[in-house]
Amino acid sequence: MSLGAAKSKIKPALPSGFRDFSPVQVRRRREVFAKLSALFERFGYEPLETPAVELLSVLLGKYGEEGDKLLFRILNSGDFLAEVPEEARKQARTLLPYITEKALRYDLTVPMARWVAQHAGELVFPFKRYQIQPVWRADRPQRGRFREFYQCDVDIVGAEGILPLLEMIVIAREGLQTLGIKGAVLHLNHRFLLEEAARQASWRNSFAAFCSHIDKADKIGWEAVRNLFQAQQVILPPWLHPEENFSERVQKELLRLEIPEEEIEALRSEIEKPDEVLAVRWDSTLARGLEYYTGYVYEVRLPGSGIGSIAAGGAYGNLIADFGGPDLPAMGLSFGIERILTLLPESEERSPQAVLVAWIDASPTYIQKVVETLHAQGVAAFAYPSPRKLGKQLEYAQRRGLRWVAVVGKQEELHHQVQLKDLIQHTQQTYALSEVAAAFTR
């Protein structure tokens, strides 16, 4: 790196919507990611990481028209205008395909599907993977919404039905539990029920339009949604109501849709089970907008938290076949990890304790020897980097939250000793260098 001509001061700033994570924040995030990773591993999920950059041919058309616009596109390198016809340079829309062929990852599902399609031959199905990585969206930044944020996904490819669903519920439950969150509710539905409702209501428009109406309940409330349909002379079936939960008539509809009796029984037992971390309720009005779901859909909400869903997912098909891979059913759960992080208390975890070796007037060689000897005794330690007044060095230790300072001057060097100060007990004691570790094992 050369500073070259950059002699004038540069304003130190970040593009809007992007964040740094300070040491305290990194520790807290790592702790949460590690807890969830360990949970996923216990359920047999394996970690996958894909690059930040994907080909546009892989990404485009996967997230709807709006999503395509939100991709952060990467400008081709070199003389990117060389081959572009005059005509195409007139508008952004026509120029775009000539000057970009890559973009930043928009979610973790499409890259996973691409990877599974590429490696289907070597994988053991059902293939279970988890992935915790940042994604990028050129959304308008606002409070709590960022252009770079982490997603945290588990997916099982090559499985469908009740057991993967039960597993997703337990993962959500154990995930919240390990993070200390209580009182959440998982809303559960099956896309078949929504299709059936549209049929019973003699809906003539697209199913996507039906779902997009239903999806408004979150914002405008269910009564307003009903009225919206009524204004179009569409009468929704009476069992389609968020308060129905898993009523007899909802169960009857499911049976009619050929959901096996045994499966309905498992659902009923899950829904009736009281649980202080994560209760399950049936919600026939849960649509989860995304067109690509084909079976169960679910969304975890935390009543009274003022934030939207904290985890969500569903069963889907086709995604891997779209990339030329095998045609396998899949099911996934995505933790809204950035939202969840805002709910958690500040991490208690400080930087690990270490002994500060205060350099008074010993030789640098002896200071170094003290550090290495402590390390050899299994004690973390590092030296203050220059010989300054002891007061300054003690203040540094205090501000860094360090408890122990090993003061090392000419006297200590002469006698192969250190003077160990305990900043909490306000005591100090002289130790032979070879025996300092004893101070910490008492």
Token readout for 429 is 């004691």
Of 35, 98, 99, 207, the residue at the interface with a copy of itself (CB under 8 A) is: 99
Give CA–CA dist 241/253, Å, rounded. Answer: 13
119 part of the interface to a copy of itself, by CB under 8 A: yes
Residue among 244, 308, 301 at smallest CA distance from 278: 301
354 part of the interface to a copy of itself, by CB under 8 A: yes
3 part of the interface to a copy of itself, by CB under 8 A: yes
Residue among 182, 251, 189 at smallest CA distance from 214: 189
Q: Cβ distance 328 to 125 under 8 Å?
A: yes
Report the phi/psi class of residue 235: left, alpha or beta, with left for phi > 0 and alpha for psi in -120 to 50.
beta
292 part of the interface to a copy of itself, by CB under 8 A: yes
Q: Scanning residues 27 to 86, which ones bind a copy of itself (CB under 8 A)?
A: 27, 29-30, 41-44, 46-55, 57-58, 60-65, 67, 69-70, 72-75, 77-82
Of 31, 35, 117, 339, the residue at the interface with a copy of itself (CB under 8 A) is: 117
Residue among 351, 336, 327, 222 at smallest CA distance from 283: 222
Q: Per CB under 8 A, which region of 153-161, 234-242, 251-259, 295-303 contacts a copy of itself?
A: 153-161
Question: Exposure string (b/e) for 232-247, b if CB count within 10 Å is 16 or more?
Answer: eebebbebbbbebebe
Sign for the pseudo-dihedral over CA of 165, 168, 174, 177: negative
Q: What are phi and psi of 134, to 5 degrees?
A: -75, 155
Site string for a copy of itself, 183-222 (x = CB under 8 A): -------------------------x--------------
Taking the least distance from each CB to a copy of itself, the nearer of 123 and 185 is: 123
Task: Give the shortest CB-411-to-a copy of itself separation in angstroms.
Answer: 17
Q: Cβ distance 187 to 244 under 8 Å?
A: no
* Total of chain residues touching a copy of itself, rule CB under 8 A: 137
For the sheet with 381-383, list strands across it: 381-383, 355-359, 404-408, 417-422, 427-432
Taking the least distance from each CB to a copy of itself, the nearer of 266 and 343 is: 266
20 part of the interface to a copy of itself, by CB under 8 A: yes
Of 87, 243, 258, 262, the residue at the interface with a copy of itself (CB under 8 A) is: 262
Residue 314's Cβ-count burial label (10 Å; 0-12, 13-18, 19+) is buried
Of 205, 227, 351, 430, the residue at the interface with a copy of itself (CB under 8 A) is: 351
Taking the least distance from each CB to a copy of itself, the nearer of 158 and 250 is: 158
Give CA–CA dist 207/361, Å, rounded. Answer: 79
Q: Scanning residues 369 to 408, which ones bind a copy of itself (CB under 8 A)?
A: 371-372, 375, 380-386, 396, 399-400, 402
Taking the least distance from each CB to a copy of itself, the nearer of 52 and 234 is: 52
Three-state SS at 169? helix
Of 324, 389, 414, 429, the residue at the interface with a copy of itself (CB under 8 A) is: 324
Taking the least distance from each CB to a copy of itself, the nearer of 14 and 231 is: 14
Reported as type and span, the H/E element at residue 129 is strand 127-136
Taking the least distance from each CB to a copy of itself, the nearer of 156 and 240 is: 156
Q: Scanning residues 266 to 285, which ones bind a copy of itself (CB under 8 A)?
A: 266, 269
Residues making up the chain, counted from first to last: 442
Token readout for 142 is 């606002």
Q: Scanning residues 154 to 173, which ones bind a copy of itself (CB under 8 A)?
A: 156, 159-164, 166-167, 170
304 part of the interface to a copy of itself, by CB under 8 A: no
Taking the least distance from each CB to a copy of itself, the nearer of 88 and 344 is: 88
Strand partners, 151: 133
